[in-house]
Structure 1
């Protein structure tokens, strides 16, 4: 057997392709070896992206949750403080959407609650100030008779210790008096209010107390308010006034027959002188006439005493500065003319006037008090007080107001006793004023127009220098 060897020389293109194929084969083998590591890198990259996305999502969720939970937590905390009475609480956190509306509404609510609470507190203090400054005692009672509150004036009727320690009516009053007050409470429950009088022993003195009971109809408080007034001074004044009236009438009734009795006694005495010779008859008649005359004089003295009792105290005039008297009278009204603007023009260097300072002080007080009373319902409240020298021998005092005024018909009756345009009072104030002015040699007159106000003018004679010395 033999062998044949054929040698072919490859072409250049075939060699190049072979080399390229070999290179691709090597690259594929290298890439095949790196495939696992590339896959791992891709997986790690995807994992990192997923973790980043998860982190961002969690952060966003926490931010959103905080925007919801923080306002709610703040609202809960604020609500707890408000429940404990701290109405100044406000929610200061930021919120969005409906929560922002809720926070704003809560803050507005607390602001209104705080404003209402302050207003209620102001009204409470105002009411307490009124109760503590009224001259009558006030007791607030619960429906079962427990004393809830008393005012300061009650301490002037009872001892301060009793007032502070009192829990029930029996702590202040005797059992019969407490029973009487409970009876008034029952009547007040039916009729709205009831009043009565009791005598009360305090500090060795007998006080006459006027008690008015008002029933509270509030659903939350069905108790009572007791207004207690010490009328002892009033009763004494009424008794004195009654005795004055009795004295005046008794003096009048007794004085009437005294004159004819006295005249008859005198006539008998004259006739006895003509009958001197009749002996015993004359003696008896003389004794009788002397006795009648002596007893008439005794009764006349008694009548004079009654008359002095019924009269106003005698004036004790002395040279006085009218401006000082006016200033002294106005001190009575210091801080008491609420809402009234006072215009005071007192001319300096006025000549003195011959007046009783206390009585004329009463004149000024009555005129100012009447003016203040007339302006109670007025929209504009101005009080004008002035003094001046109108002529060489006349000093003028003017008290004017912007009150309700009086009609022409009533103006003629203003100075009459027992006449009053007010629904209360004795009607003697201006009558006393006129009487005092007249006794001092002065004159008083009034100018008034209904709805515009009144002006009272007093003219007093001025003293000359030689009269003062």
Structure 2
């Protein structure tokens, strides 16, 4: 393709050169002949200069047009406006140039027509007639004077005596204003040849006439008279002859003069046209180059490249435009950097707050969710959700859309929402805020998990109930127990019928046993209502778990107990005794849940958690926990056991809350339940202490007990 393009360019240039050479050779100078060799060289130099200028300008113009065509064909930026500017400038130049050529050609034709019109021809004819009359008059005078002198007796006497002086002839010539006269013998060749004829000298503008001298019918001699035109008329006669000859030649070359003049005008017009084309290209480049650079810069900016700058040189308003564009992009880059900083700051806030955030656009599509919502909702793919239906059930999503419609009218709408999952029921406080009131421009959905808050409120309420119930029951319980003991002692002192004695003793014993049971229940109520404050110390969680598991040695009959303690765990700040109670309570519940199971496996393990935390996992293979039970599991006085008080897990939740720890319950695979306690790691300010503690950490312990 490139080779074909070069061949085409070479062919066009060759055709232009040949055309110009032929055109230059067509300039004919007619009968012009230089008078000196220097003029020949000057004429050749001028012709060569004209030819070279024509070829150069033609090549430049052809290059301009060809480059515009190639750029426009290739879709180069700025080629269209550059083409329009060049073509517009050439069109504006063409009109006055054509008008100039036509006007000059018209004036030249009118001038030539005036030169060769009838009056001019008559003037030239009259001038020629006057010149001829003057010559005729001079000839006639010369002949008349010659005949007059030939008829004088003195002339015949002079012929007969040729040695006699002729002063009378000079006097006669002066008197008659004759230029010169000579008397010649009869045998003179000039006299014989000039009888009755005239001879003229074009160099001196003089005429010669001869007349015979007759005697007795015979020619004895001749008189020759030279008559000269007056000196004041000689130059005028020469000019008249030269002008007449030139005019006659111009008349013959009139058509050629018109053609040459038209060619000269065409050459001037082409020169102006070529120069105009080059200037138009130059000016178009001055305009289109900054515009093309601005277009490319705009495309780069549209792609997000705000660091792009226009480096092209521009002047006047275009220079101001380029400078303004560079300042604008610099400001945009600074603003984008500032917005990016604010965005990162906002994202950091959204990712760090414990409240779930959902950004919804005007069409209801989910734009963004934060980390808290991902941790709050149990299903996978929360961060990649695009619709509310991907996050919530159909009923819950419809409820949130209803809140969005309310928020569009009022600006803000709130409502409690119970979200049922496979694990538990979440009590959520949902608040929807419209970006713009009364306009559908987007919404921000704020979701807060109030399950722990509700549980804490219920726990606090049950604690107060337990305190009052324990106080009210404990007061009459002591007299009842004392009275039952007195009845038993009384039966030992008196004699009753056997049946009555046995019945009385059984009743008294039952009263004492139930009183003791009620007393234990009252003690648990009292303990739940006023649990002692935690006294945390930095310790190893594995040691606390191992100490708690020692309590169950030999007690878990028919249960396979697996203890896995992960080494290298960070230290924790906890109350060891209270955490032992937490572990013992969880293990007791797990063991009791597996009473009706065929495979009874209890696994207790520790592992690193997320965000500098440590986890304790207690998993069983029992009957499991239903979703409704999971939601109420940590409330006081709720129990899945027939004789349970419902205070064990409530106490566990209370202890963990004091340690800023958390607990979650999940389904174990393939069956059973799994309790996970997450404890924050203790902050160790000194690295040396951290290293010392790390050296004392126990290695992995795996124990299998079978009882």
State the TM-score, normalizing by the size of structure 2: 0.36
Contact 2:480 2:515 in 1 (8 A): yes
**Structure 2 residue aligned with 1:208:** 427
**Structure 2 residue aligned with 1:103:** 322
Q: 1:252 to 1:163 in 2, by over 3 A?
A: same
Residue 186 (str. 1) matches residue 186 (str. 2): no
Q: Alignment partner for residue 128 of structure 1, among 321, 324, 347?
A: 347
**Structure 2 residue aligned with 1:93:** 312
**Structure 1 residue aligned with 2:526:** 307
Map 1:419-438 → 2, pairs under 5 A: none
Cα drift, residue 109 of structure 1: 1.9
Residue by residue over 1:320-373, the C-alpha shift from the partner in whole angstroms, topping out at 9 and shown as x without a partner, is: 79xx9xxxxxxxxxxxxxxxxxxxxxxxxxxxxxxx95149x9xxxxxxxxxxx
Residue 161 (str. 1) matches residue 377 (str. 2): no
**Structure 2 residue aligned with 1:297:** 516
Q: How many Å separate the matches in 1 of 2:266 and 2:414?
A: 94
Residue by residue over 1:57-81, the C-alpha shift from the partner in whole angstroms, topping out at 9 and shown as x without a partner, is: 8766654443333323333443344
Map 1:253-332 → 2, pairs under 5 A: 253-262=472-481, 272=490, 276=493, 292-312=511-531
SS in 2 for 1:160: coil
Residue 358 (str. 1) matches residue 574 (str. 2): yes
Q: 1:289 to 1:204 in 2, by over 3 A?
A: closer
Cα drift, residue 307 of structure 1: 2.0
Contact 1:87 1:113 in 2 (8 A): yes
Q: 1:228 to 1:158 in 2, by over 3 A?
A: farther
Residue 68 (str. 1) matches residue 287 (str. 2): yes
Map 1:336-355 → 2, pairs under 5 A: none
Cα drift, residue 303 of structure 1: 1.1
Cα drift, residue 221 of structure 1: 5.1
Q: How many Å separate the matches in 1 of 2:385 and 2:535?
A: 50
State the TM-score, normalizing by the size of structure 1: 0.50
Map 1:30-45 → 2, pairs under 5 A: none
Cα drift, residue 217 of structure 1: 1.1
Contact 1:194 1:213 in 2 (8 A): yes
Cα drift, residue 209 of structure 1: 3.0
The number of residue pairs the alignment matches comes to 319
Residue 245 (str. 1) matches residue 461 (str. 2): no
SS in 1 for 2:381: helix
**Structure 1 residue aligned with 2:335:** 116
Structure 2: where are the runs of 5+ without partners?
1-150, 159-165, 172-203, 205-231, 250-256, 541-571, 579-653, 660-707
Cα drift, residue 107 of structure 1: 1.9
Q: Alignment partner for residue 174 of structure 1, among 393, 398, 408?
A: 393
Q: How many Å separate the matches in 2 of 1:164 and 1:68?
A: 50
Structure 1: where are the runs of 5+ without partners?
9-17, 325-355, 363-427, 434-469
**Structure 2 residue aligned with 1:225:** 444
Cα drift, residue 300 of structure 1: 1.8
SS in 1 for 2:522: helix
Q: 1:47 to 1:288 in 2, by over 3 A?
A: closer
Contact 1:132 1:152 in 2 (8 A): yes
Q: How many Å separate the matches in 1 of 2:299 and 2:536?
A: 74
SS in 2 for 1:209: strand
Q: How many Å separate the matches in 2 of 1:317 and 1:49?
A: 107
Residue by residue over 1:111-163, the C-alpha shift from the partner in whole angstroms, topping out at 9 and shown as x without a partner, is: 22232233333333433343344333322233453333333443331422365
Contact 2:409 2:438 in 1 (8 A): no
Q: How many Å separate the matches in 1 of 2:396 and 2:273?
A: 86
Q: 1:200 to 1:47 in 2, by over 3 A?
A: closer
Q: 1:141 to 1:48 in 2, by over 3 A?
A: closer
Cα drift, residue 240 of structure 1: 3.7
Q: How many Å separate the matches in 2 of 1:192 and 1:76?
A: 43
Q: How many Å separate the matches in 2 of 1:165 and 1:100?
A: 49
Contact 2:358 2:367 in 1 (8 A): yes
Q: 1:314 to 1:286 in 2, by over 3 A?
A: farther
Contact 1:139 1:226 in 2 (8 A): yes
Q: How many Å separate the matches in 2 of 1:276 and 1:207?
A: 64
Q: How many Å separate the matches in 2 of 1:180 and 1:47?
A: 87
Map 1:42-57 → 2, pairs under 5 A: none
SS in 1 for 2:420: strand
Contact 1:140 1:226 in 2 (8 A): yes
Residue 151 (str. 1) matches residue 367 (str. 2): no
Contact 1:195 1:210 in 2 (8 A): yes
Contact 1:188 1:194 in 2 (8 A): yes
Cα drift, residue 286 of structure 1: 7.4
SS in 1 for 2:322: helix
Q: How many Å separate the matches in 2 of 1:139 and 1:193?
A: 15
Which of 281-290 and 194-203 deviates more?
Answer: 281-290
Q: How many Å separate the matches in 2 of 1:308 and 1:229?
A: 32
Cα drift, residue 49 of structure 1: 11
Q: How many Å separate the matches in 1 of 2:267 and 2:274?
A: 10
Contact 2:407 2:434 in 1 (8 A): yes
Q: How many Å separate the matches in 2 of 1:52 and 1:143?
A: 66
Q: How many Å separate the matches in 2 of 1:232 and 1:158?
A: 15
Residue by residue over 1:155-211, the C-alpha shift from the partner in whole angstroms, topping out at 9 and shown as x without a partner, is: 3314223653553x3333233222322332233334332333333333443333332
Q: 1:194 to 1:359 in 2, by over 3 A?
A: farther
Cα drift, residue 52 of structure 1: 9.0
Q: How many Å separate the matches in 2 of 1:47 and 1:183?
A: 84
